[in-house]
Amino acid sequence: MPQFVAPDSNQLLAALHALENEKGRGAALMAAAWVDDSLRSWLEAYLARDSRIAKGLLGPDQPLGSFGGKIKVAYLLGLIDDEMRADADVIRSVRNDFAHFRSRISWSDRSVVDRCRRLQTAKAFDRLTLGRTRSPRQRFLISAFLLSNFCLSMKQFAVPPRAIAGYWGYVRFVGKRLGMDRLRKALGD
């Protein structure tokens, strides 16, 4: 049975440190890119029968090259469940708002706040670790980080995660492994 690969806390701190000076658009774009890239990587591993064809399908401007396309195919292949798909779609839609709105947009905009409240990963992380991820930015970042790291962890097996405790077990595992104090400090707003 596959074992989870925990992100090391230094990796988390380094990733979040890169976002330290990115409070708005940059944070949303960078964190969403983590999820997009990790989904692509997992799909390439899963479709490894012919990596050249897989990379061709998943590359920029290719049939499955969009973030939304990767989310849908990962879901249809059984790599991610309904809640993970919903979280990835929230991450994608918030990223799109930050990327494409010409007017000022922030983490406190009602539509961003409402979507970040729907992130099941942040809810589960809080419930499983007795933590409290307060701001929409924190909810978005922890959800993006955990989802992308889960995809990268599962990539090594190139199989759907049905034989293991799944994503929610991974969220619990990471929460216990990293420790809430260190994580809250890294996510601080």
156-175 pLDDT per residue, tens: 766 555 534 567 777 777 77
Q: How confident is the model at residue 1 (pLDDT cuts 50, 70, 90)?
A: very low
pLDDT tens digit string along 58-88?
666 766 768 899 899 889 888 888 999 999 9
137 contacts: CB under 8 Å, gap ≥ 6: 23, 27, 107, 116, 189
What's the rounded mean pLDDT across residues 106-125?
Answer: 93
Q: What DSSP state is assigned to residue 158?
A: T
What's the rounded mean pLDDT across residues 130-152?
Answer: 85
167 contacts: CB under 8 Å, gap ≥ 6: 80, 81, 83, 84, 121, 147, 150, 161
What is the chain's Cα-based Rg?
A: 16
Domains of the chain: which residue ranges? 32-100+107-184
The answer to which of 37-41, 146-150, 181-185 has the lowest mean pLDDT is 181-185
| Joined tokens for residue 112 | 């961003």
What's the rounded mean pLDDT across residues 8-28?
Answer: 72
Give yes or no for a contact between 35 and 88, defined as CB atoms under 8 angstroms apart: yes
Angle (CA) 168 173 176, round 5°? 125
Q: Is the pLDDT of residue 5 over 80?
A: no
CA distance 14 to 67: 24
Q: How confident is the model at residue 179 (pLDDT cuts 50, 70, 90)?
A: low
> In the block, which residue shows the tokens 């090594």?
156
pTM value? 0.79
**Residue 180: what pLDDT?**
57
Relative orientation angle of helices 136-155 and 9-18, to the nearest 10 degrees: 130
